[in-house]
Chains A and B, each alone.
Chain A
Amino acid sequence: MSGDHHNTEESGPAARVKAIEELLASKGLIDPATVDAIVDTYENKVGPRNGARVVAKAWTDPAYRRRLLADATAAVRELGYAGPEGGHLVAVENTARVHNLVVCTLCSCYPWPVLGLPPVWYKSFAYRSRAVSDPRGVMKDFGLELAPEVEVRVWDSSAEIRYLVIPERPAGTDRMSEAELAELVTRDSMVGVAKVAPPKRAAR
């Protein structure tokens, strides 16, 4: 098979994965039902809504915000979020003066318990290779232009640590509940490639 890069029935990735799964199942090393359950968890259950709840709580509860900044792993566990790739989580806070951006330059390290699995762009060569050398250029690709005086801090997740950005709370949200605020928080804002937009209702 070596040298055959065609995506034929025998050598394409789908067939290779099927062969691996069947072999491992026949040896009793994995149970396909368990594989199904993991797929369901990461496709449907673990995702950026978890992180959005963390951010909304930090915005509305100063004591929680302090705990999150001091020990994010413990603070997100308070809300029930733990698991693989959540072992050493650090929360970094955006302010009017500082903007944080997260990347994993070597592969795809990402805080699964609070954000789920990373999107395609986070794993792309373009993002990984440019986020450190040209963070403002990358953010511009996402439609985010920061004032020149804002300090940009780029966090490379490729060590043991996973990062969660606490975005700035947008103006016009003083009367919103924690649950309403969580609805505003996007995954991109918790990676640092976007800000949280003010609520649309405020324009009414």
Chain B
Amino acid sequence: MSDAALRKLGYGARLDGNQVFSAPWEARAFAIALRLSEAGHFTWDEFREHLIAEVGASDKIRARDGTSDHGEYFEHFLRALEKLLAEKNLAE
């Protein structure tokens, strides 16, 4: 993807649009969530519902304010994980 197209998607030059993870913590948060679901502590669908709720809340604000995100997807991902861990009493 070209830099110009990336800028249009609202990232500026900070992020490589082709990256899967932009920091090591993103990769670990992903792997922890996937591992817990594989081990049966929750289903991936349960996790996805929490993720959709976090992303959706952010989308509403973006739509209202007319702003673009800055690649904060994994911040939503982490909050979804934290909430699900709390619900499942896994983080005590």
Chain A interface residues (CB < 8 Å from chain B): 13-14, 16-18, 20-21, 23-24, 27, 29-30, 34-36, 38-39, 42-43, 84-85, 106-109, 116-121, 123-129, 141-143, 158, 187-188, 193
Q: Which of B26, B32, B52 has the most CB of A within 10 A?
A: B32
Residue contact B9 to A126, C-beta cutoff 8 Å? yes
Interface range, B side: 35 or more
Interface residues of chain B: helix, strand, loop or mixed (majority): helix
Which residues from 56 to 92 on chain B have a C-beta closer than 8 Å to any C-beta of chain A? 56, 58-59, 62-63, 68-69, 71, 73-75, 78, 81-82, 85, 90-91
Chain B interface residues (CB < 8 Å from chain A): 1-2, 5-6, 8-11, 15-32, 34-36, 38-39, 41, 44, 48, 51-52, 55-56, 58-59, 62-63, 68-69, 71, 73-75, 78, 81-82, 85, 90-91
Residue contact B9 to A141, C-beta cutoff 8 Å? yes
| 8 Å CB contact of B69 from A21, A125, A193 | A125
11 contacts between A and B (CB under 8 A): A21-B28, A21-B32, A30-B36, A39-B30, A119-B18, A120-B18, A121-B6, A126-B10, A126-B69, A129-B62, A142-B1
Residue contact B31 to A124, C-beta cutoff 8 Å? no
Beta-carbon nearest neighbor of A14 in chain B: B25
Q: How far is the CA of A27 from the CA of B62 in the complex (A)?
A: 38
